[in-house]
């Protein structure tokens, strides 16, 4: 079939072939669309690694980019422990895990209930994980969970009274890793242990002036006052997400130094490494919430412009490629850690505050103090709520007992009616 067409075009010209000029006009457009889509699709992961027997703990592994990462790792034989806010008996979670086990052929997929908006829930899980002899195997921690307040939305708070972006995107990860740190350091020296932080390019617009004020050049002047803390009501939702990501980036750098400073009892070098990953612009639930500004009109505009977003935004599998590179690249397992990965390549950090030791120290101390204060208040609240529940249960039991005694009281008209007849 192609040979007669080619001969006809060679001897009789293109005019002899139907729709030839139309095809020549459309073909460049199709090629341009193909290359544009491929360019915005990002770099693919070319690294492979045996993941069988690897124990990987994940947050955000039930949706978005985290869900794609979880499926790819599970298909390679990794043992996944998904930390999710869903109850373990939730039908959605049960169906999700069963479907993943079936589609990947991997039965080593489990879940643990951890509500990242509750510091108490994080402590309960993490202390239970650490309190084990011998130490549990833990090859990797991947932190994909996050939340975002839309630009037009109002600031929301967690059950602990903290601003939700700050609490879930940063403070929850700080709390989780602070407790799991002994479990990471206790891994055998021949094990390649990695902690992968999910990042976003919005960190470049964050501000940590509430942690460390700018240093004045004039020493005679008093140091600048701190800005409002992130759990303050006046904290703006428009910058909350970016600030939480900048804080998470600075903590990731500090956590690598914390791990590297540990001297192993066996004398071997520290084998835990931190990797920060920016997946790029992806059609994830968070990106859709950002583009729609959290409104129905925004959702309508998003749906109308969906062909454009389909071209310029990655799908979730493409967004997962940098995470897979960070999890499987061999070179990352040999260096000192603390790398920033984007498009499956090492990148330069655009904010100097990320590697500022003065800021890292102040951020660590303030976060630690904030967690201690919040957990004390949370413990008091839980104690009060427990007493109230117990009193309510006792009142209900007393009321029920009074009702039963009144219905069964001897000599009452009701008791006589219900008494059995003597034979």
pLDDT in tens, the chain (423 residues): 566 666 666 666 666 666 666 777 788 888 888 888 888 888 999 998 889 989 999 999 998 999 999 999 999 999 999 999 999 999 999 999 999 999 999 999 999 999 999 999 999 999 999 998 888 999 999 999 999 888 777 788 899 989 899 999 999 999 999 999 999 999 999 999 999 999 999 999 888 887 776 655 455 555 555 555 554 434 576 688 999 999 999 999 999 999 999 999 988 988 999 999 999 999 988 888 888 887 888 889 999 999 999 999 999 999 999 999 999 998 888 888 889 999 999 999 988 889 999 999 999 999 999 999 999 999 999 899 889 988 888 888 888 888 888 776 555 555 454 545 544
Tell me what pLDDT residue 85 has. 92
Q: Report which secondary-structure segment, H or E, holds 50.
A: none
Distance of alpha carbon 174 from alpha carbon 69, whole angstroms: 22
In angstroms, how far apart are the furthest CA atoms of the chain? 119
Tell me what pLDDT residue 233 has. 38
Residue 165 belongs to a domain: yes
Is there a single domain that holds both residue 63 and residue 99? yes
Structure tokens at 153: 């939305």
Tell me what pLDDT residue 334 has. 83
Q: Assign 288 to helix, strand or coil.
A: helix
Is there a single domain that holds both residue 35 and residue 156? no
CA angle 309, 311, 312 (to 5 degrees): 70
Is there a single domain that holds both residue 11 and residue 69? no
Is there a single domain that holds both residue 354 and residue 223? yes
CA angle 123, 125, 130 (to 5 degrees): 90
Q: What residues form DSSP beta bridges with 196?
A: 142, 275
| Distance set, CA 408 to CA 50, 278, 384, 398, 418 (Å) | 72, 71, 36, 15, 9
List phi, psi (to 5°) of 127: -65, -35
Structure tokens at 60: 């955000």
Distance of alpha carbon 60 from alpha carbon 172, whole angstroms: 13
Structure tokens at 194: 């990695």
The domain boundary, picked from 368, 386, 412, lies at 368
Tell me what pLDDT residue 337 has. 83
Residue 50 belongs to a domain: no
Which are the contacts of 358, defined by CB distance < 8 A and separation ≥ 6?
212
Is there a single domain that holds both residue 134 and residue 160? yes
Is there a single domain that holds both residue 142 and residue 6? no
Tell me what pLDDT residue 396 has. 86
CA 182 to chain centre: 22
Please, is 250 exposed, middle or buried when counting C-beta atoms within 10 Å of its C-beta (0-12, 13-18, 19+)?
A: buried
Residue 415 belongs to a domain: no
Q: Report which secondary-structure segment, H or E, holds 274.
A: strand 272-278
Residue 221 belongs to a domain: yes
Distance of alpha carbon 329 from alpha carbon 335, whole angstroms: 11
Distance of alpha carbon 340 from alpha carbon 326, whole angstroms: 9
Catalytic positions are: 245
According to DSSP, the β-strands at 272-278 and 339-342 are: parallel
Tell me what pLDDT residue 402 has. 84
Residue 135 belongs to a domain: yes
Is there a single domain that holds both residue 299 and residue 225? no
Residue 71 belongs to a domain: yes
Residue 386 belongs to a domain: no
DSSP-derived secondary structure for 214-266: PPPS-TTSPPPPP---TTSTT--HHHHHHHHHHHHHHHHHHHHHHHHT---TT
Structure tokens at 88: 């373990």
Q: Are 177 and 196 in contact (CB under 8 A)?
A: no
Tell me what pLDDT residue 20 has. 66
Tell me what pLDDT residue 127 has. 95
Tell me what pLDDT residue 232 has. 44
Q: What residues form DSSP beta bridges with 59?
A: 83, 143
Is there a single domain that holds both residue 111 and residue 163? yes
Is there a single domain that holds both residue 305 and residue 203? no
Which are the contacts of 147, defined by CB distance < 8 A and separation ≥ 6?
164, 165, 168, 169, 286
Is there a single domain that holds both residue 190 and residue 94? yes
Q: Report which secondary-structure segment, H or E, holds 82.
A: strand 79-84
Distance of alpha carbon 177 from alpha carbon 255, whole angstroms: 9
Number of domains in the chain: 3
Which has the closest alpha carbon to 321: 34, 37, 46, 38?
46
Is there a single domain that holds both residue 99 and residue 242? yes
Task: Say which CATH number the domain at 171 has.
Answer: 3.40.50.720
Which has the closest alpha carbon to 168: 321, 322, 286?
286
The residue range of the domain holding 8 is 2-40
Is there a single domain that holds both residue 210 and residue 294? no
Residue 20 belongs to a domain: yes
């Amino acid at each position: 079939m192609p040979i007669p067409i080619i001969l006809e075009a060679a001897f009789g010209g293109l005019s002899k072939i139907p729709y030839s000029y139309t095809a020549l006009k459309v073909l460049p457009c199709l090629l341009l669309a193909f290359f544009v889509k491929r360019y915005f699709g990002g770099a693919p992961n070319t690294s492979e690694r045996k993941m069988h027997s690897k124990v990987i703990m994940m947050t955000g592994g039930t949706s978005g980019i985290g869900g794609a990462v979880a499926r790819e790792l599970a298909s390679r034989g990794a043992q996944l422990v998904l930390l999710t806010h869903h109850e373990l008996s939730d039908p959605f979670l049960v169906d999700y895990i069963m479907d993943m086990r079936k589609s990947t052929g991997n039965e080593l997929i489990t879940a643990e209930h951890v509500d990242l908006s509750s510091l108490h829930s994080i402590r309960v899980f993490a202390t239970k994980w650490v309190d084990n002899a011998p130490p549990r195997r833990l090859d990797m921690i991947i932190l994909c969970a996050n939340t975002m307040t839309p630009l037009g939305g109002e600031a929301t708070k967690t059950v602990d009274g903290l601003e939700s972006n700050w609490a879930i995107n940063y403070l929850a990860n700080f709390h989780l890793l602070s407790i799991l740190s002994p479990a990471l350091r206790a891994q055998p020296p021949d094990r390649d242990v990695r902690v992968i932080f999910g990042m976003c390019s919005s960190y470049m617009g964050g501000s940590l002036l509430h942690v460390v004020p700018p240093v004045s050049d004039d020493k005679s002047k008093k140091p600048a006052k701190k800005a409002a803390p992130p759990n303050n009501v006046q904290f703006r939702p428009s910058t909350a997400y970016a600030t939480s990501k900048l804080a998470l980036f600075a903590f990731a750098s500090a956590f690598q130094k914390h791990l590297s400073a540990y001297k192993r009892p066996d004398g071997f070098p520290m084998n835990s490494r931190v990797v920060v990953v920016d997946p790029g612009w992806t059609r994830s639930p968070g990106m859709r919430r950002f583009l729609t500004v959290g409104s129905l009109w925004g959702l309508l505009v998003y749906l109308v412009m969906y062909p454009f977003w389909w071209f310029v935004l990655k799908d979730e599998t493409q967004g997962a490629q940098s995470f897979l590179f960070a999890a499987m690249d061999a070179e990352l397992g040999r260096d000192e850690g603390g790398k920033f990965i984007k498009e499956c390549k090492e990148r330069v950090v655009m904010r100097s505050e990320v590697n500022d030791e003065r800021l890292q120290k102040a951020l660590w101390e303030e976060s630690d103090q904030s967690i201690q204060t919040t957990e004390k208040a949370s413990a008091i609240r839980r104690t009060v709520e427990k007493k109230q529940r117990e009193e309510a249960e006792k009142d209900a039991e007393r009321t029920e007992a009074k009702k039963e005694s009144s219905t069964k009281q001897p000599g009452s008209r009701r008791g006589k009616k219900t008494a059995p007849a003597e034979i």
